[in-house]
């Protein structure tokens, strides 16, 4: 057990993170919020990550974005925005957009993800796997504002799948990355399900950033898709827990803080 863990974690929670996130407001006055788009293979934990963030802020495990345990077609079928409630009437100033998963032969089309990045896809649009959204569709937003556009793009992949992603899915993820790069959009990677890939993490979430096995996968993912290791985060979602806990919250907040900071950098450049 000793040898499989580093003595010190290679990443820790910055101080006053929760306070920063709760008070976050884009400096750019043309934006009222920060829009975060999650993409990745089917069943990667994209919807679960939105639920995990919601759980941290609500102080209880919530299940707003539908998730599914059976593998197969993408469970998420529509383009949907999720705001995190501050109280009954107000929301935090970051919004998540959940999207259909990428698959080798079906799933969301790369063209549709590119349209979403530019803000052309209206909320509630049901993706059609055989053809992308077209300009004449009522769900096409011809004139997106800065608020409609995506400000930070997050690639979500199960950490145990990094070595077994199909060439086709990797190719699609690279295309999405290149499109985001051309638009100047900030990007990060989140590797989920660390509990399934590392027994030490399953036993204790505090081992997340000391697991050598997981760090190896972070480096592999970096080499595969070109994300620098500093932009890759490990996240164990709230999927089986009944209650929230500080240790679970901390690793979700490490990732979320960086997402918001990266998105804010993008907005400040607009
Ligand atoms: N053990 C474990 N299971 C997880 C984790 N994150 C998500 N899951 C489970 O993985 C399954 C798929 O998660 P979803 O959040 O539905 O995945 P998705 O990326 O939204 O999938 P699609 O909408 O189908 O593209 C669900 O059964 C989740 O409970 C995690 O960190 N650990
Ligand atoms: Mg989903």
Encode pLDDT of 117-142 as tens digits: 999 999 999 988 778 899 999 999 99
Looking at the chain, which runs of residues are DSSP E strands?
34-39, 80-85, 91-98, 152-158, 186-192, 232-235
How high is the pLDDT of residue 71? 59
42 lines ligand 1 (CB under 6 A): yes
Q: Measuring from atom 12 of ligand 1, which residue has the nearest CA?
A: 43
Q: Measuring from atom 11 of ligand 1, which residue has the nearest CA?
A: 69
Q: Is residue 138 a part of any domain in this protein?
A: yes
How close is the Cα of 31 to the center of ligand 1, in Å?
31
> Among 18-27, 103-112, 138-147, 236-245, where is mean pLDDT lowest?
103-112
Q: Is residue 63 a part of any domain in this protein?
A: yes
For residue 68, the enclosing domain spans 31-164+242-270
For ligand 1, pick from 42, 43, 126 the residue to mutate: most ligand atoms within 8 Å of CB: 43
How high is the pLDDT of residue 199? 97
Q: Is residue 143 a part of any domain in this protein?
A: yes
How high is the pLDDT of residue 250? 96
How many domains are there within the chain?
1
Q: Is residue 153 a part of any domain in this protein?
A: yes
46 lines ligand 1 (CB under 6 A): yes
> Among 7-16, 19-28, 197-206, where is mean pLDDT lowest?
7-16
Alpha-carbon gap, residue 84 to 100, rounded angstroms:
20
Residues 133-156 have a mean pLDDT of: 96
* Token digits of residue 58: 């609500």
Q: Is residue 23 a part of any domain in this protein?
A: no
CB 210 within 8 A of CB 171: no
Q: Is residue 218 a part of any domain in this protein?
A: no
DSSP state of 84: E
Q: Is residue 224 a part of any domain in this protein?
A: no
Q: Is the pLDDT of residue 147 over 90?
A: yes
What is the rounded radius of gyration, in angstroms, for the C-alpha atoms of the chain?
A: 18
Alpha-carbon gap, residue 239 to 149, rounded angstroms:
30
Q: Is residue 13 a part of any domain in this protein?
A: no
């Amino acid at each position: 057990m000793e040898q499989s863990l580093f003595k010190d974690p290679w990443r820790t929670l910055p101080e006053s993170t929760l306070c920063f996130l709760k008070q976050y407001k884009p400096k750019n006055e043309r934006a009222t919020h920060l829009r975060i788009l999650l993409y990745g293979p089917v069943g990667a934990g994209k919807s679960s990550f939105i639920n995990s963030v919601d759980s941290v802020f609500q102080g209880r495990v919530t299940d707003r974005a539908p998730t599914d345990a059976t593998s197969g077609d993408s469970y998420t079928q529509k383009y949907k925005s999720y705001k995190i409630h501050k109280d009954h009437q107000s929301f935090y100033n970051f919004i998540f957009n959940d999207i259909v998963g990428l698959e080798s032969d079906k799933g969301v089309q790369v063209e549709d993800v590119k349209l979403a990045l530019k803000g052309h896809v209206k909320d509630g649009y049901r993706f059609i796997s055989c053809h992308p959204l077209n300009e004449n569709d009522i769900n096409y937003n011809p004139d997106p504002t800065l608020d409609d556009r995506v400000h930070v793009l997050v690639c979500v992949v199960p950490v145990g799948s990094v070595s077994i992603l199909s060439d086709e899915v990797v190719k699609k993820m690279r295309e999405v990355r290149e499109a985001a790069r051309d638009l100047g959009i900030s990007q990060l990677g989140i590797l989920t399900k660390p509990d399934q890939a590392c027994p030490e993490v399953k036993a204790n979430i505090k081992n997340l950033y000391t697991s050598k096995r997981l760090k190896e996968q972070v480096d592999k993912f970096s080499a595969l898709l070109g994300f620098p290791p500093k932009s890759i985060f490990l996240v164990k979602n709230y999927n089986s827990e009944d209650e929230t806990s500080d240790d679970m919250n901390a690793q979700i907040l490490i990732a979320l803080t960086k997402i918001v900071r990266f998105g804010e950098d993008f907005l400040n450049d607009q």
